Structure 1
Amino acid sequence: MRIDYDPQAVGTAAFYQLLTSVVVPRPIAWVSTVSPEGFVANLAPHSFFTVSCVVPPVVQFTSVGRKDTLRNIEETGEFVVNLAPEPLFEEINATATDFPHGVSEFDAVGIEREASLRVEPPRVAASPVALECVLHSTLRLGDSTVVFGRVVHAAVDERVLVDGHPELALLRPLSRLGGNEWGTVAGVREIARIPYERWRQERDG
């Protein structure tokens, strides 16, 4: 037996909690930006995040409401997506605090930064992966804005590479689940896609 939920009937907050509890796990874009004047470096996690395109390489995240991250990107056209690794769990959560406008999460939380190569916003020094992006476009949907960024440079810590490729067990990415829950990589299953011709042969015996 299934329970039916009508978004209009249950209300925005309740249906948001339902969506974020079933659309799981969600990767985290730990986004760094700078203010238009270049004085304040902001850093905030966004859990509506994915890859949008391969050619050109484009990633996307959604800003729910209008926050410093979105305003900075609209003004400067640049941002960095830093991988959110398990060892920085508490720092990542702390940067989600609603600090007043003009306060740098880097400084408030005590997060070391490093210079980016192609864009102005700094990278998180302790994050194993940074995707430097320039703004491709934005899409307004209700109370949210989807931000598309063209990746112009990727910086990967050599310590998480195995045979030249990022190793999941070394990256240790966090994910967001429902409520205050976060996910870690506890186990991995691997299976190759089956070409149709092989699938047909195996089916037919």
Structure 2
Amino acid sequence: MTTRLHATRTSYDTVAASYAELLKDELGGPLDLAMLAAFAERVRAGGGGAVADLGCGPGRVTVHLEKLGLDAFGIDLSPGMVAVARGEYPHLRFSVGTMTDLDLADGSLAGALVRYSTVHTPIDELPLMFAEFHRVLAPGGHLLIAFKVGDEQVRLEHAYGHDVDLDVHRFPPERVAGLLRNAGLSEVARLVREAEAPEKTPQAFILARRTGDPLSAATVL
């Protein structure tokens, strides 16, 4: 495990209980919920199947996906977050894992949700992650990714009442869409909305579909 991943895991283990309590009802506003609903409708229309909430945290969005009619389960880097999720939603499946090396079979997912789970990943490491998403999605499977809009890195040393060791990355939507396309994930829809308190930046959602093979690593965006 890299130093960055270890720091991220340790930070989220530290804040897990506080994070779950402070954000227990947070699912976003109507536009955020609309994108989740559109994602769920696309998965159902494609015949359904297993859907992974990647970076699921304490599981509140995983259970929301279940309520939308999906066969949802969660994976998170933090054992502390997974323990909270299992305690809150014992009827759902949660496991510890990393998004660059998922313990999932090729083509085993009808859908994958990546809701702010790339926020601590530098943009030059996203291609490896997106290639893994392509691997585990079935042909025609859908991915919904949400992220903070911008083009900078912000240092975070205190959050949710605890000291942490995290870098927060913001991404340009066009850049993310291009990296998804290079990974064989074609954009279906995009939403960029303005910040809503306490957010500091606009937020973006990209719905993509596995439609082809990844492009060569030599491809220039």
| TM-score of the aligned structures, taking structure 2 as reference length | 0.23
Could you say which structure has the larger radius of gyration?
1
Larger strand proportion of the pair: 1
Larger helix proportion of the pair: 2
| TM-score of the aligned structures, taking structure 1 as reference length | 0.25
